[in-house]
């Protein structure tokens, strides 16, 4: 598990210490919480001049940072790593972050070898690389291993302007074992008392090819293969999912082949660090389970709409998002989707939906979500020739899942979840966003650390 942005965020106290004069993807159980650029294709402040930066170097914290190892365009930062979330508990360890910048001072490559310890899976480590050649191209390679179960590999590449800007190409491959996966049953009325744990053994291959019809409109085709096996988890204080829910669809595993068509409208000013514009993504997908004896077919529809409004001289950006996700097929009398594996049904909970809950907290045949977030730039610095920005981000997440359709307005709003919270964002412009989000909901508080904006 990679948690190196916890370390990056802890060093911000040194990076931004004031001088005396100043006295500033959507289906069920997801991959283990690797800090990986999210499935989303995701403000600006002034720069500090070299002279102003030199004037600041009288501060001891600046001297400490300047003493870190550097060579040509490389910066090496040894850091502690610490994180907590509801599904996995505490992680602690250390890592060495190696940043490489281009001639403009923009971070293009990040290497982060890491040691980490978790009480449930023991000692472990990871080798991690992230590449950001441009605002429209990125890739990553992650390998991790722990003493007990938690291990895997994750490779990905995305180019939104291939062929001189005409085409879109993306490929993802992941094979891993996540011993922290949870299932609570179906619907927004589930309680913490229904929580169960399982290990999700997954192989995921996804290929995407698209064409830019206009500068703002994109059409994409996606082929997806998802092989899942359900085993016992590592959280012995919780019941096994297979024992508690022995008849739910997918408990015996599944091999899902999906064929998707996506239409995307995007007027945002940047993919990784947008500050204005709109984004609308509509997905229609046909899925089939290839497991012998489990021949099932179902449809999947998703709508993801976002809008960014800069204000206060572009030092603040208000971001709103609406998400609908649903599977469609034969429905049982209980309201659950017959034959659709539970880990293929829409979920809420996690770092990019309802942030007060662990990943996969709520599961249903449809999910509705609204996110409201204010991104406030509070400080801009140039450090080691990198353009560094610090943001704070108060937010409100609202959403619920359902099982057969909205029957009445009062029933819909009865179980809706409200998650207020706040985040800290450390930006190395124009490509890297490190974030820490803290939110509160019905089950208590929760913390997520990761890369990229949540939406």
Kindly give the confidence (pLDDT) of every residue in the chain, 455 residues in length, as a single tens digit, with 9 standing for 90 and above: 444 444 444 343 333 333 333 333 444 444 444 433 333 343 343 433 333 433 443 444 444 444 455 455 788 888 888 887 788 888 999 989 898 887 777 788 999 999 999 999 999 999 999 998 888 899 999 999 999 999 999 999 999 889 988 999 999 999 999 999 999 999 988 999 999 999 999 999 999 999 999 999 999 999 999 999 999 999 999 999 999 999 999 999 999 999 999 999 999 998 889 999 999 999 999 999 988 766 688 999 999 999 999 999 989 999 999 999 999 876 554 445 567 999 999 999 999 999 999 999 999 999 999 999 999 999 888 765 667 889 999 999 999 999 765 454 445 667 899 999 999 998 877 777 888 999 999 999 998 888 789 99
Burial (CB < 10 A; 0-12, 13-18, 19+), residue 388, is: buried
CA distances to 268, 288, 362 from 186, rounded to whole Å, are 36, 21, 7
How far is the CA of 105 from the CAs of 101, 387, 413, 427, in angstroms?
Answer: 5, 7, 49, 13
Q: How far is CA 328 from the centre of its chain?
A: 25
Q: Are 56 and 19 in contact (CB under 8 A)?
A: yes
* The pairing of beta strand 114-118 with beta strand 107-111: unpaired
Task: Please answer whether residues 354 and 85 qualify as being in contact, where contact means their C-beta atoms are separated by less than 8 angstroms.
Answer: no
Answer for the pair 355, 446: CB distance below 8 angstroms, yes or no.
yes
Cα–Cα dist 255/133, whole Å: 35
CA–CA gap between residue 28 and residue 26 (Å, rounded): 7
User: What is the spatial distance between Cα 325 and Cα 409, in angstroms, rounded to a whole number?
Assistant: 18
Question: What local confidence, expressed as pLDDT, does residue 371 receive?
Answer: 98
CA angle 219, 224, 225 (to 5 degrees): 175
| All domains of the chain in start order, with CATH | 4-451 (2.40.160.50)
Residue with the two structure tokens 């940047």: 270
Cross-strand bridge partners of residue 46: none
Q: Do residues 394 and 373 touch, judged by C-beta distance below 8 A?
A: yes
Asked, as a colleague might, if the bond just before 430 is cis with ω within 30 of 0, I would say yes
**Calpha distance 87→446 (Å, rounded):** 10
């Amino acid at each position: 598990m990679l948690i190196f942005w916890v370390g990056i965020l802890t060093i911000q106290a040194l990076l931004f210490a004031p001088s005396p004069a100043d006295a500033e993807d959507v289906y069920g159980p997801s991959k283990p919480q690797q800090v990986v650029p999210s499935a989303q294709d995701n403000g600006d402040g002034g720069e500090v001049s070299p002279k102003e930066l030199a004037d600041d170097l009288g501060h001891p914290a600046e001297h400490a940072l300047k003493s870190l190892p550097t060579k040509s365009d490389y910066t090496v930062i040894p850091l502690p790593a610490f994180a907590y979330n509801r599904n996995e508990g505490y992680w602690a360890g250390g890592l060495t972050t190696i940043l490489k910048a281009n001639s403009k001072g923009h971070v293009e490559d990040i290497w982060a070898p890491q040691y980490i310890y978790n009480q449930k899976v023991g000692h472990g480590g990871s080798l991690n690389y992230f590449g950001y050649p441009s605002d429209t191209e990125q890739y990553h390679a992650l390998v991790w291993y722990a003493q007990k179960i938690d291990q895997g590999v994750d490779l990905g590449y995305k180019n939104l302007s291939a062929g001189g800007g005409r085409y879109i190409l993306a490929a993802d491959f992941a094979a891993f074992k996540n011993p922290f996966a949870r299932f609570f049953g179906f619907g927004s009325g589930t309680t913490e008392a229904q929580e169960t744990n399982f290990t999700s053994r997954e192989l995921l291959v996804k290929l995407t090819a698209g064409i830019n019809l206009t500068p703002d409109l994109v059409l994409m085709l996606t082929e997806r293969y998802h092989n899942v096996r359900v085993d016992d988890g590592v959280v012995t204080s919780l019941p096994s999912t297979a024992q508690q829910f022995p008849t739910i669809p997918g408990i015996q595993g599944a091999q899902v082949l999906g064929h998707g068509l996506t239409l995307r409208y995007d007027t945002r000013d940047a993919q990784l660090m947008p500050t204005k514009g709109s984004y609308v993504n509509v997905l229609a997908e046909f899925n089939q389970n290839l497991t012998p004896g489990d021949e099932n077919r179902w449809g999947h529809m998703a709508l993801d709409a976002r809008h960014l409004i800069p204000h206060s001289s572009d030092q603040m950006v208000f971001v709103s998002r609406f998400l609908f996700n649903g599977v469609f097929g034969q429905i049982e009398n209980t309201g659950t989707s017959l034959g659709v594996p539970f880990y293929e049904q829409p979920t809420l909970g996690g770092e990019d939906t309802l942030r007060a809950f662990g990943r996969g907290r709520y599961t249903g045949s449809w999910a509705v979500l609204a996110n409201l977030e204010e991104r406030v730039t509070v400080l801009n610095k140039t450090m080691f020739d990198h353009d560094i920005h610090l943001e704070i981000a108060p937010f409100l997440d609202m959403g619920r899942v359902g099982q057969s359709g909205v029957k009445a307005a009062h029933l819909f709003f009865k179980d809706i979840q409200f998650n207020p919270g706040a985040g800290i964002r450390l930006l190395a412009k124009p490509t890297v966003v490190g974030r820490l989000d803290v939110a509160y909901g019905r089950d208590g508080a929760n913390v997520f650390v990761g890369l990229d904006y949540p939406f």
